Amino acid sequence: MYIYKVGIVGAGTMGAQIAEVVSYAGVPVVLADVNEVSAQRGIDAVRAIYQARVAKGKMNPEQLAEKMLLVSPSSGLDGLKDVDLVIEAVSEDAKLKTQIFHELDQICRRDTILASNTSALSISAFGAATTRPDKVLGLHFFNPAYAMRLVEVVPGLATAPQTLDDTVSFAESAGKLPIVVKECAGFLVNRVLMAYVNEAVRALAEGAATLQEIDHEMVAFGMPIGPLALLDAVGLDISFEVARILYRSYGPRMTPSPLLETMVKAGRLGIKSGHGFYDYVSGEERSQGQRLERLLQDVRTKTGLGTNLWSQSRLLLAMTNEAVTSLQEGVASAGDIDLAMVAGIGYPKDKGGPLHFADRLGIDQVLHELEDFAHTLGPRFWPAPMLRRMADAGFTGQGAGRGFFTY
């Protein structure tokens, strides 16, 4: 089925960004929200994205006007009756999203595909709220959607192959890089990323390194932004909720750092609140910085966390181990896992992704270091069983000519 018209539910940041992506591809899009004011605010946000393109000389005002003609607002969901694809992009509230899918099922044509931009919630559960679970799937864009090429396409248990194929084709036609990911909590990128950023928060809470040292070393490795600065940008409240979702599915290895919850309760949510791991409000940096030190001390006192040695390998191997676990579970292929991490979080291209990183380091060395970390830092570093099988079989990576990839 060709997608001639798209509806988007939720005219917030992500909804507006996705609307820009769709309209930029030349496809009409209806941006729906609870009332006319909210929907129009989303339209204005789409225009602002295009205006930024004009300011950079990437398009002219006439082209902006042409693209905006493709975007229309809708107060409520009734304006989505004739669309071919709906992308739900409201806040990460399972009850709210489930209710929206139930309503869309009653309003939209029977052949309309219903997709969710959720980053971690159950696609199958949303499908179960409709009479067309075969037409329901995940279509997870990354922020900012107009700049990030990666899109995770996530079929639920009942999603029809044709629905998946049509959605992948649509994403490609919109200039995106779709990766089909098996449904699981956090899908692929977020679960692998959370292992990395959560370990960074743990290292800070222990006093193993300062936040500047942690972020500097990971940027020096090649990451576009340090893990703690990234959490500030995403929002610590959003990150903590994702961490809780992952913990409910994967257990102790995904236990959120106590510091993350403490930061959220203290209102240090990152850039949007003016204070997170860093301070973003001029004139208050010193006092807020002192407050962060108090929070750190409180966490260390309550949890009994002692100082462990700092190593960037803690973060990199936490990410690698989760990537291997995802591969074991068939979430995605080795090639797609590395491609997703490069395109989704900016893992350095020259290092290829966490599985290429493991091949270069040596699977036996990865196994050895993870075992050491499991002994000194805890069982969250217990090596994925696949690593031991590979090491025993001599599939030790680039030096042996074969590992996760063939050389």
3-state secondary structure the chain: CCCCCEEEECCCHHHHHHHHHHHHCCCCEEEEECCHHHHHHHHHHHHHHHHHHHHCCCCCHHHHHHHHCCEEEEECCHHHCCCCEEEECCCCCHHHHHHHHHHHHHHCCCCCEEEECCCCCCHHHHHHCCCCHHHEEEEEECCCCCCCCEEEEEECCCCCHHHHHHHHHHHHHCCCEEEECCCCCCCCHHHHHHHHHHHHHHHHHHCCCCHHHHHHHHHHHCCCCCHHHHHHHHCHHHHHHHHHHHHHHHHHHHCCCHHHHHHHHCCCCEHHHCECCCECCCCCHHHHHHHHHHHHHHHHHHHCCCCCCCCHHHHHHHHHHHHHHHHHCCCCCHHHHHHHHHHHHCCCHHHCCHHHHHHHHCHHHHHHHHHHHHHHCCHHHCCCHHHHHHHHCCCCEHHHCECCCEC
Residue 283 pLDDT: 59
The pLDDT confidence band at residue 307, using thresholds 50, 70 and 90, is: low
| Cβ partners under 8 Å of residue 24, min gap 6 | 67, 146, 174, 175
Q: How many CB atoms lie within 10 A of CB 341?
A: 28
Annotated active-site residue 140? The verdict is: yes
Residue written as tokens 């090639």? 335
What six digits make up the tokens of 81? 């009756």
Cβ–Cβ under 8 Å, residues 320 and 388: no
For residue 198, what pLDDT is reported? Answer: 97
Q: CA-CA distance, 130 to 115, in Å (whole number)? A: 12
Range with the lowest mean pLDDT among 37-41, 120-124, 286-290?
286-290
Half-sphere exposure at residue 38, Cβ-oriented, CA atoms within 13 angstroms: 16
% of the chain exceeding 90 in pLDDT:
90
Selected catalytic residue, list 140, 356, 368, 375: 140
pLDDT of residue 1: 85
Looking only at the bridges linking them, the beta strands covering 85-88 and 6-9 are parallel
How far is the first Cα of the chain from the last one, in angstroms, to the nearest whole number? Answer: 40
Mean predicted lDDT score pLDDT of the chain? 95
Whether pLDDT at 288 is above 70: no
* pLDDT, position 306: 66
Is residue 329 over pLDDT 60?
A: yes
**What residue ranges define each of the domains in the chain, with the CATH number in brackets?**
6-180 (3.40.50.720), 189-303 (1.10.1040.50), 312-400 (1.10.1040.10)
Mean pLDDT of 190-198: 97
How sure is the predictor about 25, in pLDDT bands with cuts at 50, 70 and 90? Answer: very high
What average pLDDT does range 250-264 have in this prediction?
95
Instruction: Provide the pLDDT confidence category of residue 120 given band limits of 50, 70 and 90.
Output: confident
What is this structure's pTM? Answer: 0.92
Q: What is the mean pLDDT of residues 384-392?
A: 97
304: left (phi over 0), alpha (psi -120 to 50) or beta: left
Peptide bond into 144 cis (omega under 30): yes
